[in-house]
Every structure is written in structure tokens, then in C-alpha cells.
Amino acid sequence: MSARGIIHIDLDAFYASVEQLRHPELRNRPVIVGGADAGDGKAHLARGVVSAASYEVREYGVRSAMPLRTALRLCPHAVVVPVDFAAYRAASSSVFAIAREYTPLIEPLSLDEAYLDVTGSVLRFGLAAHIAAEMRDRILAECGLHASFGVASCKTVAKVASELRKPRGFVVVEPGDEAAFLAPLPLRALPGLGPATEEGLRSGFGITTLGQLAGLQLEALQRRVGQVHGRSVWERARGIDSSPVVLPGRPRSISREETFFSDVDWRPALHERLGTLSADVGARLRKGGWTARTVTIKVRYADFTTISRQVSLPDPTAADSDIRDAGLGLFEAAWSGAKIRLLGVGVSSLEEAAQLDLFTRPNAERLDRTMDALRARFGSAAIRRGAGRDLRDLDWRGDDLRSPS
């Protein structure tokens, strides 16, 4: 049987590249994407973190997740633009529309990263490396964006390859060369091998490369890092990975978080924000055709102490009021009264929603769906429970980056 053709595509400095594409005056300048729009098209810096950094600003040591104020101390002349997920979703959609012309087997990891299985496409489009090269050129010509590509016979090696020569990297690992390609690379290059495992391997066996890891006795490795994890890293260090490219399905969770411009300890305002966050989560559930059994809240205080609480509901729900009421109960039981920096609401244990007609749905969900329709027609600010304002400084997490379609 012929080897699989797996491509890993990773758009380079994606958010920053989209902003440079939208605003030509930012090209070749150090650009930081982060913070919310303060209302005048500029980023609010007091609470923000770096969501993305152009390669021009990375030369100064600026990295994602760094506080904006720290980033600006490192590069005072950097241009900071607020996050605009609508623009990034649109750019991502245009890129992956090109990818879908070559294969339907696409596993998105985020807006800017995905695995493609092109094994079944080679008769029509040529070898996997040719497909990747053609996509690279089309993405630049049609979308104006650069991407790094890794091409291999499995997901692990393809991802390592795409990371090797960023930006605008293009690395092909031929079938049979996987172990030799990985051998000289540092342990941390292996996806899923974190700092704790790396330190355990270094202190326990004195090894620093994937070739040395591949040469260990499996049983000794498993005694050190566990049976399942030990076998996983040992096999993948040898370039052995049969995991398939998985089409996206129901997410594990949906969540919304808001970082406030200034710390809040006024109970009515916090209750309002919980309601608005819950409504956003509920709308995502209904749009996806899901219900949820577990509600979670997240509270980060002004001193950065963070707590989370969750509760399981007696019945799965997609109703805003059910999520809000559960969240409020958790909040009141957990809140210390101190000022809050960030508030979040999430749901998990998702299920496919029952197919009920308009008249057999619970009243609360019927009302929610009516409001969903009004917002879809007249805009997100058209109607909200309790006349709450729209979310202004919204942090998006994990499954929330999936396409809403």
C-alpha cells in the first residue's frame, strides 16, 4: 500500500498578516494585534495581551500572550491594532476554500492551521508535494497571505516539518525518511511533548534529541513517563503515527470570556455581564443544533487569582435563561466580593439537540430562537434580554474559533 499524503498548513503570523493586508501602510512595520477596540479603532492597552505579532516585531522579543505593555517596552515604535475576528474568519475561509478544492479531508486546528489528507487526490492533482506547492502559490496570489507547509506520510512529521523553516517554510519528508528527519531535532520539537516530559527525559536518561528518544527501550521509557504517553512519544519520535485526519464535528465545549477595561465589583453590572455572556453561549448552541448538560463560570480577580466552578444540569439545554441561572448560582456561591478583572461562562457535555417543532419546544428556547432570528436580520445589537449592551472586550477561546457555518 502506498504511503499517505499528509499536508500541514500553518499561516504565518496570521492575524498580523491580515492586518498588514487590510492596511498597506502597516506592511514591513512591527505590528502587534491585541486588546479590544477602545471605540475609535485603536486598541485599549491597559488590559490587553498580544494575540499575534508580525515577524518584524518578533525580532524585539515580542511574543503571543505577552502583556501589551511589556511588548511595547520591548518595541516602543510597534503599531498596535485591536483584534478583529470577523476579518480573520473571512481570511481563513478564503484560504481553506482553496484547500477544499484539493481534498475534502481537512482537520482545522484553528483559524490559521490545519491538516489535509491528499492521499486520494494524487491521481487528479499530482503528488502531495506538488499539491502543497500549488496551494502555497494560490494562497499568496488569491488571498495575499504567506503560509508554511509540511508534507509527509503522517500528521506528526508534517507538523514538525511545517514548523522547521518558518516563515514561508516548505519542507517535504519522503516516505521512509521520517526517523532520519526527526533524529537530530530537539525533544521539544515533537508535538505533545511538553516541558515536564522533556525535563524528565533529560534528567532521567540524559537525552536531548528525538533520535535519542527513539533509541530508548520502550519499557524503560514507559516506567518514566507512563504507559500510554510513553508509547505515544516513542512511536512518534520514530515517525510512526497512524492517526487519521479528522473532520470537525461537535465541539467539546463553548465558552465566552470578557476582560473588563477596569476592575468591577458592582453586583448588578456583573449579573448583567453574566447574562450577556450566557446569551452568546446559548446562541452558539442553538446555531450548532446542540444542547449542553454542564455550565461553568470563570472568575479572575484583580490580583489575577482565578477560580472556576461548574454544575451539571438535570436536563440538557440550549436556553439562555437556563445557562444564565446556573451561572448566577455558581457566581453567587463563589464570589468573594473582590474586584473582578475577567468573567467567563461556558458549557460542556454537548449533545445533539432533539428535533422538536416550534410548539413543543420549551417556552424559553422558543423566545431565544425568535431573538436569534431578529438579531440575524437586524444585527447583533437589535435585541437582548434585559437590554444588556453588546460584548465589547471579548476573549475567544478554543472551540469558539470554529467557523459558525
Largest Cα separation within the chain, whole Å, is 67
Under 8 Å between Cβ of 162 and 169: yes
Catalytic site includes residue 107:
no
Tell me which of 19, 56, 107, 113 is the catalytic residue.
Answer: 113
Cβ(164)–Cβ(207) below 8 Å: no
Contacts of 143 (CB under 8 A, 6+ apart): 91, 94, 95, 98
DSSP 53-88: E-HHHHTTT--TTSBHHHHHHH-TT-EEE---HHHH
DSSP secondary structure of 305-332: -EEEEEEEEEEEE--HHHHHHHHHHHHH
241 CB burial (10 A radius; 0-12, 13-18, 19+) = buried
Nearest to 261 by CA among 48, 1, 16: 48
Q: How far apart are CA 319 and CA 347, in angstroms?
A: 12
Cα–Cα dist 365/36, whole Å: 31
Query: Is 33 in contact with 42 (CB distance < 8 Å)?
Result: no
> Would you state the cell numbers that stand for residue 20, as one nine-digit string?
498588514
3-state SS assignment for residue 326: helix
Residues with a catalytic annotation lie at 113
